[in-house]
Structure 1
Amino acid sequence: MLITYHSVTGNTEKMAEGVADGAGAVVGTTVNLKRVSEVTTEDLLSADAVIIGSPVYFGSVSGEVKVFLDNWFLKYGVFRDAKMRNKVAAAFVTGAAISNGKETAMLAIHAALLMNQMVIVSPGGALGAYGASATTGPDSPGIDEKKLESARALGKRVAEFAAILQRGSRT
């Protein structure tokens, strides 16, 4: 499983680590945790599942995450031949306010994943206020244990779903 993210303040990175902890708790899951700038074509092709995390800027993903997703066509070459088809995918975001556009940022990631014919696994709960997102502004607790638990739950859910698909593809 590839868990990739962009983080400036460390909040999205901390959530990514929580997602990785949850995924790693599922027997048989190998986790590859990388910044989006470090991901290679082989990382994408070898992953059964991809989870992407981004901070929210002006109601959307960070520029780095947008470039990463845009590169699926040109740099990585996985879009044209649907090389990510039927792989499991999910997203998580962090933002400075209660909403701050977390819902729209997460949907932007989902749109890119769906265009690559991937299977989206939801984090559970509402996309922005609950689920796999965190409020990190000056009046918030930042990445507290409650948010880390939601990140772990996302990682675990995606890893379990990917394992089910892997078992099914062998029969």
Structure 2
Amino acid sequence: MSELARARERYIKNKHDARKAAVVNLEPHLQIKFHVAEWSNRCFEAMKSQWSGSEFDWEEIRRRYREPDQLDFAIWHEDRLCAMGLAVTTGQSVKLKFIEGDARLDCPLKGRRILIALEAVANYAQARGKKEIILEPLNEGLVSLYETNFGFEIVRPKNSPMFCRKKV
């Protein structure tokens, strides 16, 4: 088996384990059943049929982001798609590039989706030996949420966009 094939197998295992650990670690505390899976045609079909619209063009994201070491995930409650996300590896970091949740007010994981996503990303970062996770919030309200509720450090470079960073 080639080195590349071994690396791909490691990435697949790391991703599977990271998603599974997010459920094992959080389900008892959240007291609601959910599961975290990889992207699949089922997930994209559910997004189209269950969500009334989307902030992102997920089909284009799926087409454009095809790195073997990225972490794609879909968060489910029973047959309901509650969130989708994508994290990419960059140097010593894993960067949560996209996340979106079901916009309906009755989503059973509303208010919990980012916690689940961050847990999966942190698990993946640890498995890959990365030192931090990075987020680029879409607005100042999210900056406050990430800093206050999740312990992220806000970084405001002079000539680059602001981002949030947390050690794993």
TM-score range, shorter chain: 0.3 to 0.5
Tell me the TM-score normalised to structure 1 length: 0.32
Point out the structure with max Rg over C-alpha.
Answer: 2
Higher relative contact order (CA 8 A, sep 6+): 1
**TM-score normalised by structure 2 residue count:** 0.32
The structure with more strand, counted as a fraction of residues: 2
